[in-house]
Structures are given as structure tokens and as C-alpha cells.
Structure 1
Amino acid sequence: MLAAAGLLAGACGASGGEQPAGQSGPIELTIATFTEFGYEDLLREYESAHPGIKITHRKTGKGGPHHQNLIAKLGAGSGLADIEAVEEGHLSNVLDKASRFNDLSQIGPAGVTADRWLPWKYEAARSKDGKLIGYGTDSGPLAMCYRKDLLEAAGMPADPQSVKPLFATWESYFAAGRDYVARSGGKAWFDSASQNFNSMVNQLELGYVGRDDKLTLENNAAIRDSWNQVTAAVTQGQSAKLSPFSNEWNTGFKQGAFATKVCPAWMLGVIKEHSGPENAGKWAVTDAFPGGGGNWGGSYLTVPTQSKHPKEAAELAAWLTAPEQQLKAFVAKGNFPSQTKALESPQLLGQTDPYFGGARIGELFVAQARKVKQPQYKGPGDGQIQENAAAPALQAVEQGTSPEAGWQQLVTTAKTIVR
């Protein structure tokens, strides 16, 4: 693998160590990411192999501010990094402005072809006119995590095989939630309504925005059905009513405030961080997920046309998203690869996690990733609807607003985002 990485570094970035005519000193590239991509050591490795390249890493703690900054600087026409990371929930806003990004299929290394990635991951980054505006980094195949000890205390199935019927469909999941609330004396089944709702919507063929880039919400029966299921569970006491990624939500993991958690691959690290070493072995993960599978999360590396060194930026982005480097990022931060060769790697397939009872997490999430088929089209505003319309409306329901009033709040807010 290391030998292959060395070959790839040479193939993808050979020109990166040479000085273009008139260039004095190293070529300076900037890369802007958010949260944890696992690139710190990789960027130093690339610089060592390419002495003509100097890399500055701009890292934002949260995805929201990063993407707001990206869109603002696109509008201003200056200030963007040579490589800008884009999370899949915000990809629609970038695809809507594809003319402001380089087509990586044209400027990127010739050896970087579509078969590097899972088909749905590659296709999601193509604009309507066929441009490839991003190289895929990680993905977020969905599984279900749960507190084994809490299910056992409620007299419910708890090992990863016996729980599968509970998580077979959303109907069976919420039915199990009603059972758990009754058996546990009123304890919560899940952390947040919005976390479940987002997963449900992402599984649908048609999301918030149609291919005509118009809002589908009012006439989208599948989204409304998902809303009805989630809000009914809230009224039954299944939700812990925690705002995702808040301090209370973080503390809820440690306190056992909920029994189950929709679990994209990257959530394993979140659970371990917030639950703490004292809860090791209490959490488990199973490859059963309501509706079969889905994806939540994952990002892309783009090269804006603002870049003064687009070819060198594309070479760096290609190297970072090669299977060898994505496996290293997975080891460093748990970001699950989206590259086909990485998914075949014995290193990944053999990965286990003692915190989750020795679960074969590599094999498990590879299987879940392969269940994802055609990506749902996400038109402009999709990510904002999820974050700024759906989540607040569901939180309002959790605080006592009726499901019908919450739905109207969602629709009204969504209309201000997608007109």
C-alpha cells in the first residue's frame, strides 16, 4: 500500500514540484476544510514529496460557518482557497454555481477516473451540464448504534443479530420505541427527531427540491409520511428532545439519555468521544438500518476558478482522495472512504472497534455503503432546508408545538429558502 501511495504521489503530482515559467519560490496552495478530515499528516507528507509546493490549511470548527464563508466569497469573486471542501448537504449550492469551479475531469490527472469512487458518490458531484466539480473524500453509510445495556435492562433483544428485526423498517423501529418507552418507565428511545427525519428524507427518491430546482415539500407525500412517523414518536415520548451537537446532546451520550442512534460511519467517533471510556462495551452497532441503507455525510474537494494554480490544486486534491490517503484519513479520524479500492482493502475490512464490543466496523460499513444506489438529487437550498427549516420545526414539536403546526412552520420556512 505504501509503495502504491508513492507511485500515486508521483503520478498525480509530478508537476507540483516544478516551477512554472516566471515562478520564483514554492507554489503556495491553500486548502479549506471543516471539522476533521484527517489531513494534517497527509499535507505534510505531500509537501515532503513535493518540495516546490507549500500548503496552508484553513480549518473551520463547524461546517455551517465554512459553507457560509464559501458562498459569500464566491459572490465576492475573491478570497477562496485553492481547494475548498464541500459537505454533501451543501453540494447543491455549489453545483448551482458550477461555472465558478474547475471541471476536474478536464484539469485533473488523467489517471483519476470515475471508477475510483462508488458510482453514486462520483455522480453526485456532476453538474447538469456534465462538469465534475468535486473529488469525493469520505462517505457516511448508515447503520444503527444502540446501548446494549439499556435494551437488556428493558428486557429487549440486545445482541447485534437479535436486534435486526427491531431496525428492519421505520415502522418496526418506532414500534420498538413505543415498547422501550413502556418497558423502561418512560426513558427515551432516540436522541433527536431531526436526526431520524434527516435519515428518512435522504433515503427517498425525491427530496425537498426536484430536478427543476423547485420546492416539492407541499406535495411530497413521502416526506409528509416521514414527518408524521417521526412526530408521532415524539408525542409518544420516544425522543430525548436534544438539539444535535449541543452541549446537552454531547452530555446525553455519557448519561445514557437515549437508547438508539442513527449511525453514519463518522458517528462512531462522536459516540466514543462523548460517551467516554466508562461506557466502552455498552454501545453496539448493527448493519440493520430501517429501509435497508442510506448515506448521511461525506464531502468533496473542489477547485474554484479563483485559484491561481488550478492544475497543482487538482493534483493535490486527487492525491488526497486516492484510496491510500483516504485509508490513512480513516485510521486518523474515522472518515469512511468512498473509493472502491479502499473498500476492498484488507486493512479496512479487518478493522474492528473494541469500544463497540469488537464489532467488525470496516466490513459492516462497507456492506452498508454498497447498499446505497442512485444519489438523491439535491437542488439549491436543500442543505439549508434541512438545517434551518426542518430541524427547528421538529425541535418546536419536541417542545410542545403540534405536529400540524410544526409542518406548516417547515413549509413556510422552506419557501423563504427556495422560492
Structure 2
Amino acid sequence: MRMFRNGLVLALGITMTALGASACSGGGEQTPPAAANPNEHVDLTLATFTEFGYEALIPEYERLHPNIKITHRKTGEGGPYHQDLITKLAAGSGLADVTAVEEGHLSDVLDKGSKFNDLSKIGPADVTPDRWLGWKYDAAKTKDGKVIGYGTDIGPLAMCYRKDLFAAAKLPTDPEAVKPLFATWDSYFAAGADYVKNTGGKAWFDSASQNFNAMVNQLPQGYIGTDDKLAVENNQGIKDAWTKVTDAVAKGESAKLTAFSPEWNSAFKQSAFATKVCPSWMLGVIKEHAGPENAGKWAVTAAFPGGGGNWGGSYLTVPTQSKHPKEAAELAAWLTAPEQQVKAFQAKGNFPSQVKALTDPALLSYTNPYFGDTKIGELFAEQAKKVQKPQYKGPGDGQIQENASSPALQAVEQGKKSPADAWNQMVDAAKKITR
């Protein structure tokens, strides 16, 4: 999932520097402690952020393993969570036995492979790479082939919209009929211009940065090149996305909200915008913030400008700090098995990354009454198949999104800077993050 507010670049920079020094001074990898005896009591800690859908799964695992007791450390926001993760990684203590890492921050730990156990070596023998979509599994490999994470969810992209607001603006409302509006980014923003005109100036989307992030994620190359160097200034795709989004802001299409802020949360109930970039995990966010009074007004369609993409998803890692790495790896393997990931999806909307889960009748037949009778599972399975190869996420990618591009776009929305000046602001901030 990708549910962050702006983080603290300076603090992250300091801790990453400390982490680099720590990693260099540690020598070779440590030998994992021996596994506990089958009947020996084992206390395990599990750290996650936002919603993973594990609340009902943890007691189920404890029932299946009477000698295991799990303490779940659940954090509300992803940004502070990952800042704390980096700090504890550098310090060499304090991390949970099973520690979740969001895909946007995975690049910040991949080059610190000595701090994590290789799950291909200590994990259960029956957990093989073909459990996952190939690109999901490969993304958690270090450059020397070490597997540091088991994939949890992915974020296939669709589009959510308010049927009642579309009707009031004389736009089609049926999920099939609205697909042409969402065929390309040009058609999407053109429909937004019509919506603003037909409603006397009401906003089409919530936040410029939410659309921009999705557009950048669709590109062959994002903020960071495969050489781990900053690639913003010469990336025409990013420049084009910037122009389209800021033009839409100038036409009044943005509600000018900061995603995941209190104002953004409240805006769902206030009907402050008509469309929302919708990775699968966003359905739970919409339902929570829009409330029961808006049930049936939101809809989701299997269409996304530019054909689709992935935004979000996480991994479960086992840091070498764990005193029970074998048991931790077994827990991580069980939580990321297809059966459990389908249950997590049904609980919180986190879409599975496991191949068998994508054909599971329980997933394909799943509907969410809040969004009408649409088969949500089948819809997002269709969208997931459109993702062939994810964009490479180099070190600092997540920080650039949170602390460079988003604040710069907010400056445009607030009228503090022109698109050109804000672009320079973003580039300068990205350079500071990656230097």
C-alpha cells in the first residue's frame, strides 16, 4: 500500500547515512540462531503499518501453533513507520521479528541485505518463487540474489467515481459507459474540464499529486534510473505528466487537497470531488472516510488512463535482529500464502500478489456492497494482469514522491508557485534526497 503523508527528509538522510556506515563496519552476515524446539514457547513480534488485514489471521496462526505468541505492532501512518524502521536498522536493535516494508521504500533497504535474513535459505522449503507474480518476487531480491521479503499485496489501478455527481453533471454513470472517459489521461482531463463547466466549478479529482504519482508509476523509468542515479530532469515522460496535471489544476479540476490529511479525509463525506485514482487498497480508505451515508454512491470500473499500472504493495521481511528467524520466516510465509492473502483482501481490500489467489473463486466472486454489485475481486484481477513489469524503484524513490513532487504540486494548487517554479522546486528537493 502507499498511504503516506510527507515525511522528514533530513531525518531520513541522517539515519540512512548512519545505516550505511553501520552496514560497512559489520563484516560478513551473522549465522541465524538455531530454531526453537517444537514445544518451546516462542514470542514473535510483527510490525505493520496502515491496514494489512491480519487482525483475524494472527489468532488463527496462534491456534495452529500453540507454542507461538504474536505481538502485533500496528502503526497508522507509513511515512513515520519507515523512518523508524531505518533508525532501528541503523541502531541494530528494536525491529520486529517480522517487519513489513512498503514497495516504495524497499529500495532503501535492498542494498543493506546483510541486515536481513535470506528467506530463500531460511524459509519453508515449499515456499517457492512461483507462489508470486514473477515481478513481485523479483523486486525483493538484492543485487547479489538474496531474497529479503515475501510479497504481501499489490496495488493494481482502476478508477473510482461518484455516480450521483456524474449524473448531476450529465455524464454517464454505468461502469461500462464511463470507461471511455478513463481511456487515456487526455480523455480523463478533458472529461474533468466538462465536469467543472457543467457543475459551476466543482472539483473533478482530489489531489494533483495523487494523479501525478499514478502517471509517473506507469512510465518505463521513474525518478531513479537503473544505475541508481536521479533521472528526473531528462525524463520526458515525467515532464509531460507534470504539464498535464498542472494544466488540469489551472482549469479548476483539483480539489487542492493533501492526501491523507484531515481535510482530505473529511472531503469524502463532503462530496468534494468526483473521481479518485483507485489502487485496490483505496476501496477501504473510501469506505472508511465517505461513511455509510455515501454507500452505493461510489463505483469502481475496470479502466484506468494509459491502460493500468501498479501503485503500492508490501513485503514481510525477517531482520537479522530476530532471535527466532526460522519461526519468523514461517509466520511470514503463512501470512503470504494465497489462502491468507485472499482473507486479508476480503477484510481490508489488500489485493493478493500470489498466482493461485488470482484464480481463487473466493476472490473472483467477491463483491463489496458499498460499491454496488461489481465483482471487485474479478475486476482487480483483470487490472493486475495488465501489469507486466514494474518500474524500477531506486534508492530515495519513495522519499522523492513524498517530499519532493507532492509538496511542489501542492504549491501549484495553493497558488504559491507557477508550474515552472514548482518543477524546479521538485528537482532541487530530489537532488538533496539522492545526493
Of 343, 348, 351, 2:366 maps to 351
Alignment-derived partner of residue 394 in structure 2: 379
More off after superposition, 397-406 vs 47-56: 47-56
Of 218, 224, 231, 1:216 maps to 231
* Deviation of the 1:16 alpha carbon: 6.7
AA partner of residue 185 (structure 2): W
Distance 1:42 1:180 in 2: 43
Alignment-derived partner of residue 101 in structure 1: 116
Distance 1:16 1:348 in 2: 36
Secondary structure, aligned partner of 2:189 = helix
Of 3, 15, 18, 2:38 maps to 18
Alignment-derived partner of residue 419 in structure 2: 403
After superposition, where does 1:158-177 map in structure 2 within 5 Å? 158-177=173-192
Distance 2:304 2:36 in 1: 44
| Matching of residue 190 in structure 1 with residue 210 in structure 2 | no
Alignment-derived partner of residue 293 in structure 1: 308
Of 103, 120, 130, 2:145 maps to 130
TM-score normalised by the chain length of structure 2: 0.90
AA partner of residue 50 (structure 1): H
Aligned-pair identity in percent equals 75
Contact 2:223 2:231 in 1 (8 A): yes
Structure 1 residues 16 and 53, CA gap change in structure 2 (3 angstroms): farther
Contact 1:17 1:52 in 2 (8 A): no
Secondary structure, aligned partner of 1:40 = coil
* Deviation of the 1:51 alpha carbon: 2.0
AA partner of residue 328 (structure 2): A
Alignment-derived partner of residue 363 in structure 1: 378
Per-residue deviation, residues 259-304 of structure 1 (Å, max 9, x unmatched): 1000011111111111111111111110010011111111100011
Cα RMSD over matched residues?
1.2
* Deviation of the 1:17 alpha carbon: 6.6
* Deviation of the 1:134 alpha carbon: 0.5
* Deviation of the 1:185 alpha carbon: 0.8
* Deviation of the 1:380 alpha carbon: 0.6
Of 75, 82, 87, 1:72 maps to 87
Contact 1:303 1:310 in 2 (8 A): yes
Alignment-derived partner of residue 413 in structure 1: 429
AA partner of residue 377 (structure 1): Y
Of 332, 341, 345, 1:326 maps to 341
Contact 1:196 1:262 in 2 (8 A): yes
AA partner of residue 365 (structure 1): F
The aligned length equals 400
Alignment-derived partner of residue 11 in structure 1: none
Q: Give unmatched runs, 5+ long, in structure 1.
A: 1-14, 20-24
Secondary structure, aligned partner of 2:316 = strand
AA partner of residue 368 (structure 1): Q
Distance 2:55 2:36 in 1: 19
Alignment-derived partner of residue 5 in structure 1: none
Contact 1:193 1:394 in 2 (8 A): yes
Distance 2:346 2:301 in 1: 21
AA partner of residue 267 (structure 2): G
Contact 2:160 2:275 in 1 (8 A): yes
* Deviation of the 1:38 alpha carbon: 1.5
* Deviation of the 1:27 alpha carbon: 1.6
Alignment-derived partner of residue 259 in structure 2: 244
Contact 1:16 1:315 in 2 (8 A): no
Distance 1:56 1:269 in 2: 24
Q: Give unmatched runs, 5+ long, in structure 2.
A: 1-34
Per-residue deviation, residues 200-244 of structure 1 (Å, max 9, x unmatched): 111111010111111001111111111111111111100000110
Runs of 4+ with deviation above 4 angstroms? none
Distance 2:237 2:371 in 1: 34
* Deviation of the 1:41 alpha carbon: 2.1
Distance 1:17 1:187 in 2: 64
Secondary structure, aligned partner of 2:140 = coil
Per-residue deviation, residues 73-116 of structure 1 (Å, max 9, x unmatched): 11111111111100111111111212211111111111111111
Secondary structure, aligned partner of 2:56 = helix
Per-residue deviation, residues 179-217 of structure 1 (Å, max 9, x unmatched): 111111111110000100110111111010111111001
